[in-house]
Amino acid sequence: MTSETNFIKELISDKHREKAFNKLLDMYQERLYWHIRKLVITHENANDVLQNTFIRVFKSLPKFQQKSSLHTWMYRIAYNESIRFIESNKKKQHNSLDTLNEGYVNTLISDEHFDGDEAQLKLQKTLSKLPEKQRYIFQMKYYDDLKFREMVDILGMKEGTIKTAYYNAVKYIEKDILNIELLEISEG
């Protein structure tokens, strides 16, 4: 029996559940926070979604079928919670995609917890121009270093589709950042 299987048994056992769940929090809280943060942008929203994610994980553990790793399963829950949050906010705001993308960058710039440099800001501006799903795929691969196979389980998409979306995003980002730099040079 693997150590993950034993850990999962502890997570669903009445006797060890609290201690095991605290260990789970220690192991995954920061990684899931940053995964969520890239999707929902602000620190406050990421904390709210992270809390909802761990509540859902806690409640769903007895039903976890171990068809994927615990890590992948939790990323899927975090991703789904993030999408629920984003969709809920879109419905409340009734904004166009351009307005949402502009708001995405402005929110990031004004976020006191954003500590990125000019290059990261350029990357975020470029990412905001990508279609939502393509942006998420790029972020999962680039920032979270997830394997395409793991992203299949998280997103429920075919591996070829994910790879195509990722490599198209990379091409677009390279081209757009080069255009931004050329524009800055010509203005300077």
- Kindly list the domain boundaries of the chain, sorted by start residue: 1-94, 118-188
pLDDT in the model for residue 96? 46
- 136 CB neighbour count, 10 Å cutoff: 24
Residue range 38-45: average pLDDT? Answer: 89
User: Model-level pTM?
Assistant: 0.77
Q: Does domain 1-94 have CATH number 1.10.1740.10?
A: yes
- CB of 152 within 8 A of CB of 158? yes
pLDDT in the model for residue 97? 45
Q: How far is Cα 11 from Cα 58, in angstroms, rounded to an integer?
A: 9
- CB of 158 within 8 A of CB of 150? no
Q: Which fold has domain 118-188?
A: Arc Repressor Mutant, subunit A (1.10.10)
Residue range 114-131: average pLDDT? Answer: 76
Name 136's Cβ contacts closer than 8 Å, sequence gap at least 6: 39, 79, 155
